[in-house]
């Protein structure tokens, strides 16, 4: 699997702008449009997940973090700048690993305090919430997670949080000469989305640049781009 090359996205978007007789758009403005398109794509993906509990996500956007939980540390900061959405949790007890459930706060408290079906090693639960804390004299919202069950004093459990991460922002670096700019791979950052979604991301970016395309137009132009790339590689 490969990410979308920022140069390919820029070249494609500029070809569409030229085809539509648009004016000059700076590389920085194209970057802004692309990153907004990625943000829109992420929002659509998360809305689908929240509505159905599943989605066709790119595994490159899924990460995990391990928490060592004691009897006094059931609540911990997630402390991941790229955290976006919890997907699931696992509890590892020796060689055994059990998948749990992530509930909203009310449902978590209900399950945590249940006398009939309390959380167990076979049925762990967690909840994610935001705690307002003072960090360097500034009020900050800190994402936290609480786990249940917790171990007896003197022992620990290992919880694994699987979450959707925030994509890195794409950057098109370039050099200028006589008023012209040339792509510079040094300093450039490719779009942090699998190349399968090239048409979706670039179409969203073009909308931010004032150009709305039909699917057939995108498919036709993308096919031409792929054909040109094959010719270039010969």
pLDDT digits (tens, 9 = 90+) for 89-132: 999 988 889 999 999 999 999 999 999 999 999 999 999 999 98
Query: Residue 155: what pLDDT?
Result: 92
Spacing of C-alpha 134 from chain mean position: 27
Query: What are 26-73's pLDDT values in tens digits?
Result: 999 999 999 999 999 988 888 877 776 665 555 678 889 999 999 999
| DSSP bridge pairs for 86 | 163
């Amino acid at each position: 699997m490969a990410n979308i090359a920022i140069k390919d996205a820029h070249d494609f978007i500029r070809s569409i702008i030229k085809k539509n007789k648009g004016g000059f758009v700076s590389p920085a403005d194209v970057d802004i449009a692309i990153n907004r398109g990625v943000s829109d794509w992420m929002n659509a993906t998360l809305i689908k997940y929240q509505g159905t509990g599943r989605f066709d996500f790119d595994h490159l956007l899924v990460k995990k973090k391990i928490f060592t939980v004691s009897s006094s540390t059931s609540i911990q900061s997630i402390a991941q700048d790229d955290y976006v959405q919890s997907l699931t949790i696992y509890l590892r007890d020796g060689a055994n690993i059990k998948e749990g459930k992530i509930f909203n706060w009310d449902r978590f408290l209900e399950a945590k305090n249940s006398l009939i079906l309390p959380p167990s090693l076979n049925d762990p639960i967690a909840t994610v919430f935001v705690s307002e804390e003072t960090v360097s004299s500034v009020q900050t919202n800190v994402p936290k997670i609480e786990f249940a069950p917790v171990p007896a004093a003197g022992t620990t459990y290992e919880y694994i949080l699987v979450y959707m991460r925030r994509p890195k922002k794409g950057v098109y670096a370039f050099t200028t000469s006589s008023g012209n700019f040339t792509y510079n791979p040094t300093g450039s950052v490719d779009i942090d989305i699998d190349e399968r979604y090239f048409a979706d991301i670039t179409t969203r970016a073009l909308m931010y640049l004032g150009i709305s395309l039909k699917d057939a137009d995108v498919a036709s132009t993308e096919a031409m781009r792929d054909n040109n790339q094959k010719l270039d590689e010969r």
